[in-house]
Chain A
Amino acid sequence: MLLETGKLVALLTISLLTGSGTDSLAAENSDGSDATLLQYFSERIEPVLKAECYQCHSKDANKIEGGLRLDSGLGILRGGDSGPAIVPGKPDESLLLQALRHQNSLQMPPNRDPLPNQVIADFIRWIEKGAMDPRHVEPELAETDDPKNHWAFQPLSSPALPGSQNPADVRNPVDAFVLARLEQEAWKQAPAVDRAAWIRRVAMDLIGLPLEPAQVQTFLQDASPQAYEKVVDQLLDSAHFGERQAQHWLDVIRYAETEGFEYDTHLPGAWQFRDYVIDSMNRDKPFDQFITEQIAGDELDANNTEYQTASIFHRLGPVRRNAGNPELALSRNEVLTERTDVIGTAILGLSIGCARCHNHKLEPISQKDYYCLQAYFAATDENNLTLASPAQQDAWQKSTEDVRAHQARLREQARVAAGPERSQLEKEAEELESRRPEPLPQIPGTRNNFLNQTAIHILHRGVWEQKGERVGPRPLSILVGAHVPELPLDVENPRTLLAKWLTAADNPLTARVIVNRVWQQHFGLGIVSTPNDFGTRGGVPSHPELLDWLASYLIKNRWQLKSVHRLIVLSETYRQGCDSAHVSDATISDPENRLLWHFPRRRLTAEQLRDAMLMVSGRLNRAAGGPGIMTPVDPELVQLLYKPAQWQVPADSSNNDRRSIYLIAKRNLRLPFMEVFDAPTLMSSCARRESSTHAPQALELLNGSFSNSMAHSLAARLRMIAGSDSERLTDSGFSLVLGRMPNAAEKELSIRFLAEQPLEEFALALFNLNDFLYVP
């Protein structure tokens, strides 16, 4: 399955067309249909290109002459160093034809007589007819004739709620849309899950933790019609809600507290951004306000600590600070690239990064658009705001001086030493790093520095040295029209203006993109399956009206996301079981369950898994906030760091049992436990967690120090609850860990096991069960 679907479809299309049996050679008396033209190409043009040109103008050439490739349709159109090889419809203006005719000092094939007249005539006719070239049939593009008509660029519609044949099944508007679509296929939804499974599902989704058995019991016995609502409202009000929801936003904006690359320098105070996101989620801060603060917090109010904290946003990408990187302008260019691209992926859901080097081949985004967007950041600069008093700063300065002087002496000695002696000295100097005092509290924020603003040019092929036209800030032309002028280069508060455009009522992307992310959080797959890519190459919405309805609903509810969460998790659609046996043809025609004819079972994320293990074993430390936590890890892993002294585990171990979101997000050292369960790499935006299955996961859960430590604590907790009675131990174990009681067979197996094996091993086994690792 390594073929891209697009290519596969393209290949199939071609083979169907060429096999269509029309009189292929009769271009003169052809009907001009695409099929005939394609056939003409494959019989008259392609063989000549292959025989005469590919040797120097294809991917197989030793050196691609003049940068021109003739073995792909895009290659021909894009052309080489001298420009496009053909102008469809205009043979005389096509360089390829001039070369075939040996005109204008062009000569192809080189140093030979021109090709036969008949061949040249074929090329003329082919170009006249539009130069149909099946080698660049891109089905996705072909469907959207004009990218302006692409669905995602259209204004939000206000669809009416569809009616259903079974109004009783419609609990809320979400169901109305989903059921209407299912009814088109004559499919039904899966029967609802039992209450125990539902509460486990909704708790894992909203707060990322299982509930205590007592809370589950209350719900199971609550006969009131509002029982479900009560649970949802409690969860939405829980302080743990933000801890779960923040993680997804942090994934999307590739949040990390270190700069990556070789030094992986820690950015002191970056963790405050994580707490800011958690807090914003908990307070249900309107999403438009939320992104405005991140993009332009410092411009909104430079004295507002919360806004300054939000502006750490621009500091979170990887930053190359390696020694001897001689080009400051290169580094600046990389930083600007990071800051621009994340706006595209995270907020607009567009992979604008491709337009950095060339007009986007697949999206209606020009290189100019890209650099106009970047121009909003021309003056954006780092701004480390100290939170310490002058006296504290003085004291800090003093205490670091000694260490620094010592380091300097060692490094001087190292400079003149050689071989192992030199390394030893360098190592000693490095180790002193840990003796430096803790950095003073600061906010690694952002400001505008207009005196030192970067002139933003269109860069040829994205290379910083190859500057083209200078540009000013302007939104993407596909969304506002090309006629909108650029803003002046010194416009005040440029990022506030950017945020205004992003959150404007007529921006068709921002609201759609975020409600789609929320939907994906609950159903595993978005209404648009490519949450970072709403462009013409991205996924087509499975329920376009629902997407627009939800986006409008969000805006109507003052951009408050909790309203959307609430609507979704209280729907009948969300209450379905995972069972997929009720519609047999759906298994075949919609294996991905895009139409939601059952609830999609999902494996816990790395964070959910770790947090749930802490929770059920009674170890979870619920403290919130604070600097990223470094826990004890295998010393060899630390040794893999270029600066091992960076990993400082505090003596106080109580923080080791905090929720995973409070663990340090360090680009060059991720915990093996998190890594093995598909935690993101922190290098680029992660729109959706992967869920892979492989043996190292089993080894981690069986032999890893974390899971064994948790198993011991769980065993101790079970003993407290159930003493030594195997049956009670089994019941408690199942209800604590899996959120349900064991069935008869499970009970029998467990009791038999406990008769001979230690309780710790039983606890460990529970952590390895599908019903623990998967949301029901």
Chain B
Amino acid sequence: MLSDACCGFGGLAMASLLRANQSDAGMQNSLAERSCHWPAKAKSVIFLFMAGGPSHLETFDPKPLLNELHGHKRPAEFGEAKYQQIQGDTTILGTKRRFRKHGESGIEVSDLFPHTAKCIDDIAVIRSMYGDMVVHSAAQYELFSGRLNPGFPSMGSWLVYGLGVESQSMPAYVVMPDPVGALEAGQPMYMQGFLPAAFQPTVFRSGNRPVLNLALPTGVSQEGRRRTLDLIHELNTATIRPGDQEFQARLNSYDLAFRMQMSAPDILNLSKETKDTLALYGADREPTRDYGQRCLLARKLVESGVRFVCVVSGGGPGAMQWDAHADIEENHLRKAGETDMPIAGLLTDLKRRGLLDETLVVWGGEFGRSPEAQSANGRDHHNLGFSMWMAGGGIRGGCVVGATDAIGLRAIERPCHFRDLHATILHQMGLNQHLLTYPHQGRNERLTFLEGKVIEEIV
């Protein structure tokens, strides 16, 4: 059925209705591995989603002028900006963070990230990101799906739709939310939208049974269930005619389900990890334990062939996200404290296992934060210029792309929209944004809406 939809059979004229066989690909498993549009540099993506909007001014985009202008009105030459909450009556907020050059590349990183800074030569910092919305939900939809409204497929679903599944034992697209709570855009932000259900994410739950339905119901033994599966297999096989690809795909889906049941628990089990590994991620101590464990799990997942893993930092009320309206110091010290070591651990671990080359790691939130102060020590949302970074997966490390103006208000050099980020991710994964389309409501939809520009400087 899926291939029907892919081909947009709606466009077929009657003349071509009776045409050469195209149904071979027709009834196969929706998730069968597919080939790329060009040679891929990366096989998997890990998106480190800093929900709530981390400040670029406190992290990767040093602006000495901010401290000079602290307490003053924004000089007129920087132009206007619309924030979500703060209105006209506010002044520039300086930063208490110190920036220092790191690595051979000498890229400046703030003291919030002492561990990540050590990996800077593997990182390409994009200092000129921008999006279209200044409120969380819409900005989160845009970050994930390229569109401002829910109902469009997220980048993870697009990748699985384009590439199929490599893993023979794990779901293709995994989201690990912050156990603290939900985000504004809710589950629709991660979803497959109008793509078939085969491309939906598997949202991991916290605790030791992260995947729903992977464990046998209580009272059912592994051996007993094996017998049930055998019965299903034999009865279903008996009703299949040769060449019935849809029913063959159903048989295969039971095999895969069984393999997932057998091998997933091993992948999900962190208790066999060495002390060193746990320490590397900070997975053995507070306050890095939770994010460290999820980063470690992310590494194990991509190792087993998962295409897209999203590891969320932040959830629940704003203060528990990177949403530092009230006190940027307190908030960002806390959030960076939870994530810096795990992220550096992830990059280091991927690298030493030779996985970084084929794993694209992306860091960032739905927007940055305002140069102006909100309630004295906080910063409001800000979408006109902020930072994200990418590493691994064929990305040129140790470089900086783009720049904001002298107070970090607006991306002025090489502005990169979310669409450009998406185009770059697809590009590294071997997919052409213009060919990866799906017909919906009379339009061949794509992740990048009209089109994004691959950030050539870093690929």
Contact = CB atoms under 8 A, between A and B. Distances in A.
B136 interface: yes
Interface stretch (A240-248, A648-656, A766-774): A766-774
A323 B84 CA distance: 9
A757 B224 CA distance: 7
Given A4-B444, A62-B453, A669 B13 contact: no
A696 interface: yes
Contact of A262 (B184, B191, B215): B184
Interface string B4-34: 1111111111101111111101100111001
B89 to A, nearest CB: 16
B305 interface: no
A114 interface: no
Given A2-B6, A318-B149, A753-B227, A326 B84 contact: yes
B10 A539 contact: yes
Interface string A722-746: 0000000000000000000000011
A694 B253 contact: yes
B327 interface: yes
B270 interface: no
Interface string B226-248: 01110110111011110000110
Contacts of B183: 642
A262 B185 contact: yes
Interface in A589-613: 589-592, 594-595
A680 to B, nearest CB: 8
Contacts, number: 303
A581 to B, nearest CB: 8
A692 B2 contact: yes
Given A6-B11, A350-B442, 7 more contacts: A4-B444, A260-B150, A351-B442, A419-B331, A422-B326, A592-B23, A696-B202
B442 A532 contact: yes
B239 A703 contact: no
Interface string A511-530: 00000000000000000011
B227 A592 contact: no
Contact of B8 (A5, A423, A591): A5
A345 interface: yes
B10 A529 contact: yes
Interface string A4-19: 1110010000000000
B182 interface: yes
Interface stretch (B43-51, B65-73, B313-321, B340-348): B313-321
Contacts of B326: 418, 422
A354 B443 contact: yes
Contact of B197 (A320, A676, A745): A676
Contact of A698 (B5, B11, B150, B253): B253
A644 interface: yes
Given A5-B12, A260-B188, A539-B12, A640 B136 contact: no
B196 interface: yes
Contact of A681 (B23, B191, B198, B203): B191
Which of B2, B196, B234, B250 counts the most A-chain CB atoms under 10 A from its CB? Answer: B250
A672 interface: yes
B214 interface: yes
Contacts of A595: 17
A158 B450 CA distance: 42
Interface on chain A toward B: helix, strand, loop, or mixed SS? Answer: loop
B238 A745 contact: yes
A750 interface: yes
Interface string A661-689: 00000011100100111110101111000
Interface string A259-275: 01110100000000000
6 contacts: A261-B150, A532-B441, A667-B150, A667-B188, A690-B2, A765-B228
Contact of B217 (A62, A537, A685, A705): A705
A731 to B, nearest CB: 15
A765 B150 CA distance: 37
A672 B3 contact: no
B11 A677 contact: no
A260 B31 CA distance: 29
A683 B205 contact: no
A693 interface: yes
A757 B196 contact: no
B144 to A, nearest CB: 14
A171 B177 CA distance: 58
B180 to A, nearest CB: 8
B406 interface: no
Contact of B14 (A542, A581, A640, A756): A542
Contact of B186 (A140, A641, A697): A641
B394 interface: no
B151 interface: yes
B265 interface: no
Contact of B198 (A345, A641, A693, A745): A693
Contacts of A51: none
A420 B334 CA distance: 10
Given A644-B182, A675-B200, A694-B29, A262 B231 contact: no
A715 to B, nearest CB: 13
B441 A353 contact: yes
B193 interface: yes
A640 B187 contact: yes
A418 B260 CA distance: 44
Contacts of A436: none
Contact of B187 (A323, A532, A668, A758): A668
Nearest to B26: A591
Given A537-B11, A698-B257, A640 B177 contact: yes
Interface of A: 1-6, 9, 59-60, 62, 139-140, 143, 185, 260-262, 264, 318, 320, 322-326, 345, 350-351, 353-354, 362-363, 418-420, 422-423, 426-427, 529-530, 532-533, 535, 537-540, 542, 581, 588-592, 594-595, 634, 636-637, 639-642, 644, 667-669, 672, 675-679, 681, 683-686, 690-700, 702-705, 708, 745-746, 749-750, 753, 756-758, 761-762, 764-765, 768-771, 773
Give me the 10 closest cross-chain CB pairs, A-B, nearest first: A683-B151, A351-B442, A530-B10, A591-B23, A692-B196, A698-B257, A262-B184, A692-B198, A423-B317, A539-B10
Nearest to B228: A761
A769 B254 CA distance: 11
Given A427-B317, A589-B18, A694 B6 contact: no
Given A636-B205, A761-B228, A703 B215 contact: yes
A750 B235 CA distance: 9
A62 B417 CA distance: 12
B214 A419 contact: no
A162 to B, nearest CB: 17
A713 B213 CA distance: 20
Contacts of A322: 135-138, 184
Contacts of A757: 224, 227-228, 231
Contacts of A3: 435
A765 B233 CA distance: 9
Contact of A668 (B188, B229, B439): B188
Nearest to A677: B197
B249 interface: yes
Given A354-B442, A746-B238, A694 B135 contact: no
A390 B293 CA distance: 57
Given A669-B187, A699-B260, A771-B239, A318 B10 contact: no
B103 to A, nearest CB: 28
A525 B358 CA distance: 42
Nearest to A694: B198
Contact of A675 (B19, B85, B135, B197): B197
Contact of A641 (B7, B11, B182, B239): B182
Contacts of A538: 10, 442
A4 B8 contact: yes
Contacts of A264: 186
Nearest to B199: A692
Contacts of B11: 4-6, 140, 537, 539
